[in-house]
Structure 1
Amino acid sequence: MRFLWPELLWTLLALPLLVLFYIAILRRRKKMAMQYAGLATVKAAMSQGQRLRQHLPPLLFLLAFAGMLLAVARPVAVVTLPSQYKTMILAIDVSGSMRANDVKPTRFDAAISAVKAFVNQQPGDTRVGLVSFAGTASMIQLPTTNREDLLDAVSRLQLQYGTAVGSGILVSLKAIFPDAEFDLTSADPGRISSRDQRSSSLDSRAGREKPARDFKPVAPGSYANAAIILLTDGHTTTGPEPVKTAQLAAERGVKVYTIGLGTVEGQIVTADGWSMHTSLDEDALKEISSVTKGEYFYAGTAEDLNRIYKSLNSRIAIERKETETTALFAAVAACLALLSALLSLLWFNRVL
């Protein structure tokens, strides 16, 4: 826990002063009582239960006062809250290396099975989109709540050549922010495209200046309406640099959860008269998830992959975030103060 206004914690020094003030009042009352009765008579008249009743309301009020002073300092804590993700983009690697059978029956078949199970587990109001990427990336299914259309789209996925992880991230971002413009052919996809340059030039001639990027970057991981789940089994061989595209997602606050499928040491895949060696680039996937405040998962078997997608349901449905808890401290303090006053009225017919 931390405090936004820690300098106000000095006000807690008032607590021991209140305790000393309370002790002084008790001594004064005792002296006044002894003027009319002996000390033995006073002790005999007050049982242990009565002593507890005497001190409990002031103790509760002291705790309430402490809670109010802490609330003034604006406490902040990491709390677990239900997420508000209403759009999920599934980016699936369909490169030829997905034919490898180190994940049974094959990487591709295991991925399709796990993705279908994940789709079926989503709440009915969650929109799920599907992006496939190999040498290029394509939007296979726009975000939808229609599970049948989505499952049909998953079943239509076909293996292709190449691996463009960066393109997969960009097309996924485009599905979340349709008005955003990225250059899929550039190693620096964040630069203004030629179409944007022409549009900006036309706007300038019309007397209006159009900025190349008309959005303000936000804190990474702060966008609560959508997230990307990206699965791949290899290295990027073409397209934009993945970490640079991850920076674009981070600037828009979108988390990218990455899943590495297959073995790190790799496998030689043979198909259509050619062979290739494929291995998992875990470092890039870890950096992508780190930059966007997402999380990286490794799946070495089909069982691992299914377990990861199941765990993503709970991880995405519930998220931990830093939240100001001033209202909570104030509410607890108010309840303690009210309880103190009620007990004092009930037992002594006075408020403290």
Structure 2
Amino acid sequence: MSFLAPTRLLLLLVLLVLIGTYVVVQVRRGKYAVRFTNLALLERVAPLRPGWRRHLPAGVFLLMLGVFVTGFARPAADVRVPREQATIMLAVDVSTSMRADDVRPDRLSAAKRAARAFLDGVPERFNVGLVSFSGTATVAVAPTTDRRAMRAGLDRLSLGPRTAIGEGVIASVQAIADFGAQYGQAAPPGRVVLLSDGANTAGRSPQQAVERATAARVPVSTIAYGTSDGVIYQDGSPIAVPVDGPALERLAQATGGRFYEAATGSELRRVYHDIGSSVGYRVERREVWAWFVAAGLVLACATSAASLRWFARLP
């Protein structure tokens, strides 16, 4: 939390003076009471003394003043505000390694299922598109709010040889730029969510993709999907297809995105939920003085109630 008018906090010094004055007055009052030497008579004259309760209204009142002064200094805090619109491109690896069954029933089928769940949680006004990549990249669905079109695009995904991660990112960034051109300077923010299980083996390099994404100011969040024990069979021979997380992590970090690892279908769904939450909200610096005013009013009511209850008067 910060303050837009921090010099106003100097008024707290006045509050410290009030606290000191109150303490001094109470000490002097105690000394005066001791001068009444006939303690037995004092007990009969004032048998019920409020004790600590007589300090409570004053303490709450001073606390109330402190809260009001803090609010007067215009405190500001980071507040999550829902986005009205955004463009998200899902880039899905459809290389042959995605048929590994270390994730049941296989990596691609589980990825499709998690992507459908992601669509259910994305705000309706968000435009979502789909890019599939193996040796090349293809825009399967241009950014749209039509969730049925997206689900149909996911159903059509099919496997192919090699892995062109760089091409997948570049195609996604270009799709976001083409879609945003109709809005001009008011284009909604874009984000690429890339899911892959391997290293780049075809097309342009991930470094070229990073340059394109950073120039367009489009963060790329990457998901390394699968396990280190993944195996596919070709002509009856096993071929190991372990996940290559470091390359995907470097890609995410270089573009300002996030890197995730998911070894199961349920973990992938949690990752998509986290991505949806991060994209669906933006953080804004906003004044929160109203919170302090509300707290001060509550303390004022508490002070009045306590004083009326114990002393039959307002403080």
User: Is the shorter-chain TM-score for this pair beyond 0.5, marking a shared fold?
Assistant: yes
RMSD between superposed Cα atoms in Å: 4.6
SS in 2 for 1:149: helix
SS in 2 for 1:139: strand
Whole-angstrom distance in 2 between the partners of 1:301 and 1:251: 34
Match of 1:270 among 234, 238, 252: 234
Counterpart position of 1:194: none
Distance 1:54 1:320, change over 3 A: same
Matched ranges for 1:130-209 at <5 A: 130-178=130-178
What is the TM-score normalised by the length of structure 2? 0.72
The question of 1:235 aligning with 2:199 is answered yes
- Between 1:134-143 and 1:121-130, the stretch displaced more is 121-130
Q: Which runs of 5+ in 1 are unaligned?
A: 182-213, 216-222
Match of 1:261 among 217, 225, 228: 225
Q: Deviations over 1:176-220 (max 9, x none)?
A: 443779xxxxxxxxxxxxxxxxxxxxxxxxxxxxxxxx98xxxxx
The question of 1:64 aligning with 2:64 is answered yes
Matched ranges for 1:197-346 at <5 A: 226-242=190-206, 245-246=209-210, 249=213, 254-264=218-228, 267=231, 270=234, 278-310=241-273, 312-313=275-276, 325-337=288-300, 339-340=302-303, 344=307
Counterpart position of 1:25: 25
Counterpart position of 1:210: none
Distance 1:60 1:276, change over 3 A: same
For 2:220, give the aligned amino acid: V
SS in 1 for 2:55: helix
Deviation at 1:325, TM superposition (A): 4.4
Whole-angstrom distance in 2 between the partners of 1:336 and 1:296: 46
Counterpart position of 2:116: 116
SS in 2 for 1:109: helix
Contact 2:173–2:216 (8 Å) recurs in 1: no
SS in 2 for 1:280: coil
Contact 1:264–1:282 (8 Å) recurs in 2: no
Counterpart position of 1:106: 106
Higher fraction of helix: 2
Q: Which runs of 5+ in 2 are unaligned?
A: none
Whole-angstrom distance in 2 between the partners of 1:334 and 1:248: 53
- Between 1:309-318 and 1:95-104, the stretch displaced more is 309-318
Aligned residues, how many? 311
What is the TM-score normalised by the length of structure 1? 0.66
Q: Deviations over 1:285-321 (max 9, x none)?
A: 2233334554322223444434544555556557888
- Percent identical pairs in the alignment equals 35
Distance 1:290 1:334, change over 3 A: farther
Counterpart position of 2:83: 84
Q: Deviations over 1:61-94 (max 9, x none)?
A: 2222333444466656666x46427443211112
Whole-angstrom distance in 2 between the partners of 1:158 and 1:152: 12
Counterpart position of 1:45: 46
Q: Deviations over 1:142-178 (max 9, x none)?
A: 2323222211111122223432323323333334443
- Between 1:4-13 and 1:124-133, the stretch displaced more is 4-13
Whole-angstrom distance in 1 between the partners of 2:257 and 2:251: 8
Whole-angstrom distance in 2 between the partners of 1:17 and 1:37: 33
Whole-angstrom distance in 2 between the partners of 1:281 and 1:13: 59
Q: Deviations over 1:303-348 (max 9, x none)?
A: 4434544555556557888766454334423543454356557766
Whole-angstrom distance in 2 between the partners of 1:85 and 1:76: 23
For 1:258, give the aligned amino acid: T
Contact 1:174–1:180 (8 Å) recurs in 2: no
